[in-house]
Amino acid sequence: MDIISQLQEQVNSIAALAFNTIGTMQRDAPPVRLSANYPEPPPSANPTEETAIFSEQPKLMSAALVKAAKQFDALVAALPISEGGEEAQLKKIADLQAENDAVGQDLQKQLEAAEKELKLVQELFSQASDGCLNLKMPD
Amino acid sequence: MATATYPPPPPYYRLYKDYLQNPKSAPEPLPPIEGTYICFGGNYTTDDVLPSLEEQGVRQLYPTGPNIDYKKELRSLNKELQLHILELADVLVERPSQYARRVEDISLIFKNLHHLLNSLRPHQARATLIHILELQIQRRKQAVEDIKRRREEAQKLLKESLTTLEEH
């Protein structure tokens, strides 16, 4: 895939990681005490297992997010953009077209000369073979 | 059983009855449309250009100008994005009802990122064209060299055959 499409894919994956992270955190967070007036929230059914899984998730997900962001930076560094902008590119295209035309005409001339020589050789060959046939005595 | 008849073809075919005998008796095809046209009730345009962010009503976060330093802007937008995600996480912990503004900011940054990347496409198209032209020049030069070499070989062979014939 070309570099710009890769960059676009990377942006989309950063977006997906971001909303997955925030969404999972929000969905799975255990209830917390809001104010001194309300009592402590009741303990959940499997406290130790859930809290263990739950405290691992933000670390893993944020690590993935940071890794994706670093990869984006690496891709940006790999962009083959040369300075000079649009005008420099258009000028280069015009130069290359001129050179292409010149080389094309060169090629055309060589081709014509080669075809002429080919005709000549074919003519000579047919004359030589006619001469051979006429000189050869039947056995 | 539902029988839906297809709409009939446009009736212009009758104009071309004698086309084989007299190609000029039938009308010419229309010239291609330029500008905007309506297709199935929707407006389309033949001018394919990336609409600027202001036209879409989105605030532009990176500076405009003739030559934008794409790498620098992309990197700074990436950093901004990371900061905003962190801010969102903070806001959800402390003041959860104020998430909307932060989410809007994050989506604004994403829109800017994608617009920047899309505006790189014309540059990529020109670079591809340059590459193709260079390849073509290289191929043509190679062909010229090949033809020259073959002609020289043929000349050499003819001279050799001439000397062989003169010997006999």
Under the banding of pLDDT at 50, 70 and 90, the label for residue A40 is confident
Nearest to B127 among A73, A89, A103 (CB): A89
Read off the pLDDT of residues B117-150 as tens digits, 9 standing for 90 and up.
Answer: 888 888 898 999 999 999 999 999 999 999 999 9
Q: SS3 of B42, please?
A: strand
Instruction: State whether B81 and A79 contact (CB < 8 Å).
Output: no
Who wins on pLDDT, A10 or B30? A10
Read off the pLDDT of residues B37-72 as tens digits, 9 standing for 90 and up.
Answer: 888 878 887 777 777 766 677 888 888 777 778 888
The pLDDT > 90 percentage for chain A reads 47
Residue A84: its pLDDT value, please?
64
Averaged pLDDT score across all residues of chain A: 86
Residues of B in contact with A110 (CB under 8 A): 144, 147-148, 151
The interface pTM score, or ipTM, of the predicted complex is 0.75
Q: Which amino acid is at B107?
A: S
Read off the pLDDT of residues B6-20 as tens digits, 9 standing for 90 and up.
Answer: 888 888 888 888 888
Under the banding of pLDDT at 50, 70 and 90, the label for residue A98 is very high
Instruction: Tell me the mean pLDDT in the region A91-117.
Output: 93
| A3, A75 contact by CB (below 8 A) | yes
Instruction: State whether B151 and A114 contact (CB < 8 Å).
Output: yes
Q: Which amino acid is at A68?
A: A
Nearest to A11 among B110, B133, B150 (CB): B110
Q: Is the pLDDT of residue A44 over 70?
A: no
Q: Is the pLDDT of residue A28 over 70?
A: yes
Q: Is the pLDDT of residue A46 over 70?
A: no
Under the banding of pLDDT at 50, 70 and 90, the label for residue A76 is very high
Read off the pLDDT of residues B97-111 as tens digits, 9 standing for 90 and up.
Answer: 888 999 999 999 999
Under the banding of pLDDT at 50, 70 and 90, the label for residue A115 is very high
One-character DSSP codes across chain A: --HHHHHHHHHHHHHHHHHHHHHHHHHHPPP----TTSPPPPP-SSHHHHHHHHHHHHHHHHHHHHHHHHHHHHHHHT--PPTTHHHHHHHHHHHHHHHHHHHHHHHHHHHHHHHHHHHHHHHHHHHHHHHHHHHSPP-
Give long-range contacts, CB 8 A cutoff, 24+ apart: B102-111: B106/A18, B106/B81, B108/B58, B108/B59, B108/B61, B109/B61, B109/B77, B109/B80, B109/B81, B109/B84, B110/A11, B110/A15, B110/B81, B111/B53, B111/B56, B111/B58
Q: Which amino acid is at A127?
A: Q
Residue B138: its pLDDT value, please?
95
Q: Is the pLDDT of residue A139 over 60?
A: no
Rounded to 10 degrees, the C-alpha dihedral A102/A107/A112/A114 comes to 150
Instruction: State whether A85 and B144 contact (CB < 8 Å).
Output: no
* Residue found under tokens 């505006």: B119
Residue B55: its pLDDT value, please?
67
Cα–Cα dist B1/A41, whole Å: 62
Min Cα–Cα distance to chain A from B51, Å: 18
Q: Which amino acid is at A57?
A: Q
Q: Which residues pair with A36 in a beta bridge?
A: none
Q: Is the pLDDT of residue A12 over 80?
A: yes
Cα–Cα dist A11/B113, whole Å: 8
Q: Which of A36-40, A44-48, A99-103, B164-168 has the lowest mean pLDDT?
A: A44-48
Who wins on pLDDT, A87 or A33? A87
